[in-house]
Structure 1
Amino acid sequence: MGDNRRIFSEGHVSVLRSLPSSFLSHKANLLSPRQLLELNASILQYLKPILKSEPEIYSILESRLTNHGPHGANDEQITKSIEIPENYLQKKWTTVLRLQRNIQELEMKNKALEGRNKEIVEMLDNEVKANPHCSISKINWIPSFLKSSLRFHTSPITAIAIHSFNPYIVTASQDGMMVIWNLLDLSEPVNQLKNAHSKSINMVTFQKGTSYLISCSSDQFIKVWDLSTPDDVRIPIKSLTGHEHIVSAISSSHKDPNILFSCSRDKTIKVWDLQTGWALRTIDAHSDWVRSIDSSGDYLISCSSDTSIRLTHWPTGTGVGLCLGHKQVVEDVKFIPKNSNEYLDAFLAKTGNKGTLSSEQKTEYSQVGYKYAVSCGRDKLIKIWKLPLPDYNTLNGSPMANSLNPYGECIKEIKGHASWVRCLQIHYNGRYLISSSDDQTIKIWDLSKLDEEEVKPVKSLQGHQSFVNTIAISSPTDDGELSDDKIRCYLVSGGADNVVNVWA
């Protein structure tokens, strides 16, 4: 008994010899004959090296396992002839453990869904009690639970785009890779473009009404891709060059889909004709890195590392407004759509802050196509701005900065994030504002409750283990009146943890 490898005593041998046949008999209700033979063979494979110094023990076990299977005495020859992979029993056991973990994860998700279902039922009950004639609609949907986590990228996620009517999303990362997914089947990508760009992809967006995807990168290129057959995409159909440093962001014109705007670390904004690939205009917009840009009709709004936000009439390149108030780099800025105006107008009316406009002012805001904007930055703040109206040149009628007051007014400052606020999206119903942050959260804010002294998010989503770099929300399939048949309820986020999360 001095040999540590010796695991059986003589008493064990006699016990094995005395085992009844029924102990190792076939359980027809558990295993098929073939499965039982494979099990017996894998057990012998596993024990053979262990019992190398105990040949008598191994011989007894072999005899028992090969003579008490589904075919009786014939099993010895059959069992020995079965070919099984190396370390078969260990691999099967590893699979069992993996399945157990998957079951535990599914049970946790199911518990979370049950909790969410209970919340929804209670909410609907309250809605019905308050308004017996109410109906449930996608228009007021708020993302509330994690539907899928896509772990395919090996680098931080930097950009996401959701097609407005096709079921495709595109995710991009810091290593220059783009991945195309089908929202109806997220089990694996439709396509992957490992070298879409040679450096970080900073933004992707779809051209309105088409299957063209536009990407911009730190490699100074803007590329156009045809995704009409997404699984066949290999190379871009067009590459735009002209920026002299990192291309930070792009925005496709809603007025003319063939017009594209871009901004860069070279401190400029460029206006592009997508049909020809030529830059129509270069605008010296800021004194430092231009971080983000958005468009509305003939106007652009941009933000910069110089902490300012600039309103520009892009056909002339004239600056018509300036918003000052952030203390650090401004990461993102967006025009607030017209369907949000009712909430912001009501807020201003409640606070007595110029909430009532003259008919002339209402007409002017309607003509320029903007009224409010929202920004976020490294000072952890979200700011809502009322933008200034331009003056007009008496000679040629072109817009110019208001000589009396060219500055935008910060009407509300929202605090709630614990770190840099990276990205903003406005819900398609105009009521909710969505923000993502380096504090690993996504927060949803109700614009109808801005009059509260301390604005709190109506929902805070946590699913990333690092900075949430970017978010995208699905848009209605067309610009007409909102209805359930035009809406898909998806919010997609990308983080520095290399994970893409799909929220529903």
Structure 2
Amino acid sequence: MDVPLDGDQQRELDRSVIEYLRWRCGENESEIIDALAQSLKVTESEDPSRLLLLPRKWTSIVRLQRRIMALEHTCRELRELNSSRDASHGTADASRVTWLPPAQPCSSITVESPVASVRLHPELALVFVATEHGRLHCFDVLDTSIPMASIQAHTRAITSVDCVCVEGTTYVATGSKDMQARVFTWEASGGLRLLRSFQGHEHVVSGVRLWLNGKDLLVASCSRDTFVKIWDVLKGWCVKSFQPHADWVRCLDVQGEYLVTGAQDATLRLTHWPSGNGLSVGIGHSFPIESVAFVPAAGEESEWFGECVSTSRDRTAKIWSIPAPRLLPHRAPVPHSADAQFHNRATLEGHQSWVRCVRIRGPHIFTTSDDRSVKCWELATGNCKRTWEDAHQGFVSCIDLDGTAQPVPRRIAVTGGIDCKCHIFMQ
């Protein structure tokens, strides 16, 4: 019977068998021969193919070892290639963070009505598209032929959408002109499912933000009724309600225990949301504020983020330095006694109409406008770095870019406009 082993494998196997038999039977050759004959004896009732079981296992192990060695060699080559690229062009992460979208979109999504808000999934290649007909869609950015999920989320237009992923569960929050804020869960198998519907505002809900506060998943909503409300998503109740402005609160952003809002009265306000204490105010825009965003902290050890960016109907965006509040022992923060106003560090001028939306990614600020353009600005200097003219065939209402908090930042950007399209930029 032919054994599927080459000469070297046969010799190694024989040597191993002999060593085993010496251990079992001692050095007596006759006993070794008898034990070997007994172990190789095959009766008529036995299957002769059983004799090949050990050689087959042996060859499987050899093939597996060779495959492992080949993979290790490939990994070494890839690490050396990445090291050489990093040495000549900087680190890969740095290049991803400073990435700018290409001049033309890679693909486009057409929906049933004007796009009001877009949000990329923080981990997966998904984009959530909210429309002025109250529908919420989920698309795969790599295959936009049909939505992965679609739901009539509200009875009137959606104004804002946000998304977080907590312990493998995706939560999507929406605000609407039907005066409600809602939170949905998304699953690849089950699509979008309504988890909570928060009713408490008395007018249009103009902005929502989801974030994890310790072990609590919270959503903040702002409204034309001049109130901001903080809701506990899993428990379903209102945690805090306060009135930062005397006019329509049009937008908000949250970072830790601090919340910044922009209003119809053209002012910005910083609030410590757990206590409701107003801390400082930003005055400088001449028309209502359309959007606002905190500049992410420089590092985890930074105690104070210090800056935000706002956009307005006065055709400008502004970079603000936020004064640090007074921190008192065992008490909530209070306004600084001598410095309670934002400082306008730079004014970004260049758009020819209302500046609708702002997003910050790494060292860049991205703004959209009713002049149908998207602009990229340098956060450090306020200089315009690039302009995408005629990004849409109408007002560009929203933009989102992948965050830089992932271990390997992606290169994805999405824009939405009143032309009922969502453009996807990738590289």
What TM-score range do you get, normalising by the shorter chain? 0.7 to 0.9
Q: What is the CA–CA distance in structure 1 between the aligned matches of 2:98 and 2:405, rounded to whole Å?
A: 16
Paired residue type of 1:470: C
2:271 aligns with: 312
Structure-2 change in CA distance of 1:242 and 1:315 (3 Å): same
1:66 aligns with: none
1:241 aligns with: 199
Cα distance, 1:213 vs. partner? 1.1
Q: TM-score by structure 1 length? A: 0.63
Paired residue type of 1:391: R
Tell me the secondary structure at the aligned position of residue 424 of structure 1.
strand
Unaligned runs of 5+ in 1: 1-127, 342-362
Tell me the secondary structure at the aligned position of residue 425 of structure 1.
strand
Residues 103 and 388 in structure 2, CA contact (< 8 A), matched pair in contact too? no
The structure where strand makes up a greater share of residues is 2
Structure-2 change in CA distance of 1:431 and 1:442 (3 Å): same
1:407 aligns with: 341
The structure where helix makes up a greater share of residues is 1
Residue 447 (structure 1) aligned with residue 385 (structure 2): no
Cα distance, 1:299 vs. partner? 0.4
Percent identity of equivalent pairs: 30
1:284 aligns with: 243
Paired residue type of 2:323: P
1:426 aligns with: 360
2:324 aligns with: 389
State the Cα deviation string for residues 180-212 of structure 1 (Å, max 9, x = none).
10122112211222x211001111111243311
Structure-2 change in CA distance of 1:323 and 1:234 (3 Å): closer
State the Cα deviation string for residues 198-237 of structure 1 (Å, max 9, x = none).
00111111124331111111111111211123x6336412
Alignment of 1:217-228 (within 5 A): 217-228=176-187
Structure-2 change in CA distance of 1:477 and 1:408 (3 Å): closer
1:460 aligns with: 388
Residues 367 and 376 in structure 2, CA contact (< 8 A), matched pair in contact too? yes
Tell me the secondary structure at the aligned position of residue 138 of structure 1.
helix
Structure-2 change in CA distance of 1:134 and 1:475 (3 Å): closer
Residues 221 and 229 in structure 2, CA contact (< 8 A), matched pair in contact too? yes
Structure-2 change in CA distance of 1:475 and 1:134 (3 Å): closer
- 1:147 is matched with which residue: 102, 105, 116? 105
State the Cα deviation string for residues 291-322 of structure 1 (Å, max 9, x = none).
11111111000000011100000110000010
State the Cα deviation string for residues 78-111 of structure 1 (Å, max 9, x = none).
xxxxxxxxxxxxxxxxxxxxxxxxxxxxxxxxxx
Residue 332 (structure 1) aligned with residue 254 (structure 2): no
- 2:133 is matched with which residue: 171, 175, 184? 175
1:253 aligns with: 211
Paired residue type of 2:369: S
Q: What is the CA–CA distance in structure 2 between the aligned matches of 1:470 and 1:141, rounded to whole Å?
A: 19
Structure-2 change in CA distance of 1:183 and 1:392 (3 Å): same
Aligned residues: 337
Residue 502 (structure 1) aligned with residue 427 (structure 2): no
Alignment of 1:59-458 (within 5 A): 132=88, 134=90, 137-193=95-151, 195-209=152-166, 210-229=169-188, 232-233=190-191, 235-256=193-214, 258-339=217-298, 366-367=302-303, 369-393=304-328, 396-427=330-361, 430-450=362-382, 455-458=383-386
Residues 212 and 228 in structure 1, CA contact (< 8 A), matched pair in contact too? no
Alignment of 1:15-34 (within 5 A): none
Tell me the secondary structure at the aligned position of residue 231 of structure 2.
strand
Paired residue type of 2:415: S
Tell me the secondary structure at the aligned position of residue 503 of structure 1.
strand
Paired residue type of 1:253: W
Cα distance, 1:144 vs. partner? 1.6
Cα distance, 1:149 vs. partner? 4.5
Greater CA drift, 141-150 or 304-313: 141-150
Q: What is the CA–CA distance in structure 2 between the aligned matches of 1:304 and 1:290, rounded to whole Å?
A: 4
Residues 307 and 329 in structure 1, CA contact (< 8 A), matched pair in contact too? yes
Residues 115 and 132 in structure 2, CA contact (< 8 A), matched pair in contact too? yes
State the Cα deviation string for residues 420-456 of structure 1 (Å, max 9, x = none).
00000001xx201100000000111122444xxxx33
Residues 208 and 252 in structure 1, CA contact (< 8 A), matched pair in contact too? no
Tell me the secondary structure at the aligned position of residue 400 of structure 1.
coil
Q: What is the CA–CA distance in structure 2 between the aligned matches of 1:502 and 1:216, rounded to whole Å?
A: 23
Structure-2 change in CA distance of 1:191 and 1:392 (3 Å): closer
Cα distance, 1:389 vs. partner? 1.3
Q: What is the CA–CA distance in structure 2 between the aligned matches of 1:165 and 1:307, rounded to whole Å?
A: 35
State the Cα deviation string for residues 102-136 of structure 1 (Å, max 9, x = none).
xxxxxxxxxxxxxxxxxxxxxxxxxx9xx846466
Q: TM-score by structure 2 length? A: 0.74
